[in-house]
Amino acid sequence: MFPYFFSPSCVIGRSLTFQMLNFPHSKLTIFSNVHRHKMSNKRLNGIQFLRGFAVLAVVLGHNRGTMYDNIVAGSFIDYITSNAIFGVEVFFVISGFIISHSTQSIKFSSFAESLSFLIKRFFRIYPLYLMVLALYVSLYYYNYYTGEFSLGHLSIENIIQSVFISSYQSDVISPIYGWGTLVVAWTLRYEIYFYIIFAISMIFTAKYRSVLTTAIIITIFIFSSYYYQGHLVLDAQSFPIPNTTPDKYIGFAGNPIVLDFILGMIIAESEKLFGD
């Protein structure tokens, strides 16, 4: 998977510095902030553990086919590998938590803050994604077994779509809607969507950015459910969208899996209110 999240140490350090700059002469306040952020650091370490578990679940799920003969039906490994999608959902919950948590130090809404947020997210994700994509294509292009150069089933169109993370295949189940060159890159579409909605919310309000983000996501989700399915759908794997423009590019935004981001934000806001 890809590093979607801010480094917890940077988040804590920046927030603590903000507090110290606002109260430079209060030793008691600084001590209180240090204690609170130590507690917050422990919570974020727990998040890292949960993320590691999610990574393991996804890896096992992707390798289920190669280890199928050794899986005992009804076992824990059988359950984990056959339901590996939950690992992705855990990632989205963590993403919602981290993004909400890491922007708590922002006190004033502005276009500049919103733009800064998007730029940071872009450079944290996209350059590394392009590097991995280029490495994968180059390795796939050269067949080490035959010594020949061939793209195989990878087309130039598929690679270009993967560069822009826009690949879509109508015959692929939801919430994936297209494997792309890198099969795990479909999750980035949801991350980018979440970042954009969160950034828009930050333009209008800093204090209630998570609330506004939640309202926008839920509104789009409900509208999309009735528009595409005719009724409210909560199963992320039962949300087909038509192979037409612009539906195939924006329809994924209504998939129920986006609600995972909201759960993460709720946890972050609850931690802020009741964590102390």
- Structural domain contains residue 3: no
| Whether residue 33 has pLDDT greater than 50 | no
Confidence of residue 68 (pLDDT cuts 50, 70, 90): low
Supply the pLDDT for residue 148. 62
Confidence of residue 69 (pLDDT cuts 50, 70, 90): low
Q: Are 177 and 248 in contact (CB under 8 A)?
A: yes
- Structural domain contains residue 29: no
- Structural domain contains residue 30: no
Supply the pLDDT for residue 17. 28
| Whether residue 78 has pLDDT greater than 80 | no
The DSSP line for 90-153 is HHHHHHHHHHHHHTTT--S--HHHHHHHHHHHHHHHHHHHHHHHHHHHHHHHEETTTTEE--TT
Summarize the confidence of residues 235-247 as an average pLDDT: 89
Give how many domains the chain has, as a whole number: 1
Supply the pLDDT for residue 50. 79
DSSP 71: P
Better-scored residue on pLDDT, 207 or 9 = 207
Better-scored residue on pLDDT, 99 or 242 = 99
Q: Torsion-angle region of residue 146: left (phi > 0), alpha (psi -120 to 50) or beta?
A: alpha
- Structural domain contains residue 84: yes
- Structural domain contains residue 55: yes
Reported as a single tens digit per residue, the pLDDT across 35-52 is 445 545 656 677 777 778
Reported as a single tens digit per residue, the pLDDT across 128-177 is 999 999 998 888 776 655 666 666 567 788 888 899 998 787 778 899 99
Give, in order, the Cα–Cα distances in Å from 157 to each of 133, 168, 209.
14, 11, 38
- Structural domain contains residue 95: yes
Reported as a single tens digit per residue, the pLDDT across 179-212 is 788 888 899 999 999 999 999 999 999 999 999 9
Q: Are 203 and 114 in contact (CB under 8 A)?
A: yes
* Residue 241: CB atoms within 10 Å: 23
| Whether residue 1 has pLDDT greater than 60 | no
Better-scored residue on pLDDT, 184 or 22 = 184
- Structural domain contains residue 54: yes
d(CA 137, CA 152): 10
Reported as a single tens digit per residue, the pLDDT across 79-129 is 666 767 788 999 999 999 999 999 999 989 999 999 999 999 999 999 999
- Structural domain contains residue 172: yes
Domain range for residue 217? 38-274
Strands of 137-233, DSSP E:
142-143, 148-149
Supply the pLDDT for residue 11. 32
Backbone phi, then psi, for 142, in 5-degree steps? -100, 115
Supply the pLDDT for residue 272. 77
